Amino acid sequence: MTIAELEEAKAKSLGEIAAAADAAALEALRVRYVGRNGSIPALIKAMKDVPKEDRPAFGKAVQQWRAEVEAALAGKTVQGGGKRVDCDITLPGRWRACGVEHPLSRVVEESAAIFGRLGFTVADGPEFENVFNNFTALNTPAHHPTMDRSDTFWFGDDCLLRTQTSPVQIRTMMANKPPVRVICPGRTYRRDTTDATHSANFHQIEGLYVDTKPVSLADLKSVLAYFAKEMMGDGVTVRFRPHFFPFTEPSVEVDFSCHVCKGRGCGVCKQSGWIEVAGAGMVDPRVFRHVGYDPDVVSGYAFGFGVERVAMIKYGIPDIRWFYENDIRFLEQLG
């Protein structure tokens, strides 16, 4: 090969590299020209056949060719698909959405952690329930309004969407000997029309403590007072108001002192200084009999509160529907 032929071959190789459409074509050219058995190494090996006086000039030209091919290969960027990638470093970075925990999940997780510190474990139950677990064993008679077709989603005579998490109390006691100490977070259903504070499907957390040692209303109050302080902040206290639930005797409604105004009265607590949060009471002896516990031997308390309700007051959310719309702006603000 003469130097003129070499220059011609070099121009051809550089043209091919410039025109390579994709990474595979580029690699083939690398192999063809500078690979172990490529044409440039072959020329170097054949150097001994070049007349002695031409060798320095020829050798220089070959090295130059190799350098230019290598530079061209390194400088050329192709994509798998074959398009050139233009990198404009003045463009803004690519934004990638980052997930956040839903506020309802946060309240559930936090509640499980708080009650966990007091020895409660988490129990679970199905959302489809039967009449015994959702009503009968909870001492709720057949004429009770919640059994009405207009209040509960029924699927036949003995299948319904649970109206509360309380049936998990029944399942837990039927499956375990006392003592039991559980909370049961879960989804519940009522035939409510949805407005700012009601939803046909919402979440509750049930609590149950039963022991062969005497359990009192004072134990219940201390546990809920601890929960109130941990969940809503220091200085939040609880008060009990007499109430009625079929499955507890006595029954109470539980208020937290308003964490916003510290009990002085504000818009959040409707000037009362208190916010209603839960229902609770001492487990009714009839409930114990339904699950095969002896009410002369065991005693216990139970409570139930709405997850949405706690999240609404904790985070100052005025409309329950915001929890279900999955508006990223809302979720991010709270995350």
248, β-bridge pairs: 245, 283
Q: 57 to each of 21, 41, 54, 315, how far by Cα in Å?
A: 34, 17, 6, 82
Residue 303 binding ligand DAH, by CB under 6 A: yes
Q: Shortest CA distance to 301 belongs to which of 169, 122, 136, 165?
A: 169
Q: Which is nearer to ligand DAH, 226 or 330 (CB)?
A: 226
CB of 183 vs ligand DAH, minimal distance in Å: 10
Among 134, 140, 166, 199, binds ligand DAH (CB under 6 A): 166
Residue 288 binding ligand DAH, by CB under 6 A: no
Q: Which is nearer to ligand DAH, 1 or 217 (CB)?
A: 217
* Two structure tokens written together for 334: 């709270």
CB of 98 vs ligand DAH, minimal distance in Å: 35
Residue 280 binding ligand DAH, by CB under 6 A: yes
Residue 125 binding ligand DAH, by CB under 6 A: no
Compose the 197-236 pattern: x for residues touching ligand DAH by CB under 6 A, - for all others: ---------x------------------------------
* Two structure tokens written together for 247: 């499955």
The residue behind tokens 């007499």 is 242
Instruction: Using DSSP, state whether 303 is helix, strand or coil.
Output: strand
Residue 167 binding ligand DAH, by CB under 6 A: no
Among 13, 134, 248, 257, binds ligand DAH (CB under 6 A): 248
CB of 187 vs ligand DAH, minimal distance in Å: 13
Contact 246, 140 (CB under 8 A): yes
Spatial separation of the C-alpha atoms in residues 224 and 230, rounded to whole Å: 10
Spatial separation of the C-alpha atoms in residues 102 and 110, rounded to whole Å: 12
Q: Which is nearer to ligand DAH, 103 or 304 (CB)?
A: 304
Residue 164 binding ligand DAH, by CB under 6 A: yes
CB of 280 vs ligand DAH, minimal distance in Å: 5
| Pairing mode of beta strands 121-122, 201-211 | unpaired
Residue 245 binding ligand DAH, by CB under 6 A: yes
CB of 178 vs ligand DAH, minimal distance in Å: 16
Count of residues touching ligand DAH (by CB under 6 A): 12
Contact 324, 305 (CB under 8 A): no
Query: How many C-alpha atoms does 71 have within 13 Å on its Cβ side?
Result: 7
Query: How many C-alpha atoms does 94 have within 13 Å on its Cβ side?
Result: 3
The residues binding ligand DAH (CB under 6 A) are: 164, 166, 206, 245, 247-248, 279-281, 302-304
